[in-house]
Amino acid sequence: MVQYQQTRFDASFAALSDATRRGILEQLVRSDASITDLAEKFDMTLTGMKKHVAVLEQAGLVATQKVGRVRTCKLGRRTLEEEAAWIERYRRLWAARFDELDNIIEELKRKEKADGRKKR
């Protein structure tokens, strides 16, 4: 199971690593769009947009449907809850480390201040 989750994380983070793909997701939150519409919005060729959509589709973040000559994109069924939980674990870990560092710095400042008073 860990390998499956890691593979999904890799696909999700790879998909989200590109600003254009994040923009596509933001656009699809508002409404479904054809690949042509997305390509125009992002000032990109159809081929380039198809490649971006394919990466998002592979990660399960976008679903496409072809009707005639038009391929429409919409948000996929997969959410990013597991990825968000993974990030949150590390956010908490780093927050705790920084809090501890703040405590150490405050203690050093108190000692320095106390030592300064003793020398006078």
pLDDT of the residue at 32: 96
6-25 pLDDT, tens digit each: 678 899 999 999 999 999 99
Whole-structure pTM value: 0.75
Residues of the chain under the 70 pLDDT cut: 1-6, 117-120
Domain 2-75: top CATH class = mainly alpha
Domain boundaries, the chain: 2-75, 80-120
pLDDT of the residue at 112: 85
What is the 3 state secondary structure string of the chain?
A: CHHHHHHHHHHHHHHHCCHHHHHHHHHHHHCCEEHHHHHHHCCCCHHHHHHHHHHHHHCCCEEEEEECCEEEEEECCCCCHHHHHHHHHHHHHHHHHHHHHHHHHHHHHHHHHHHHHHHC
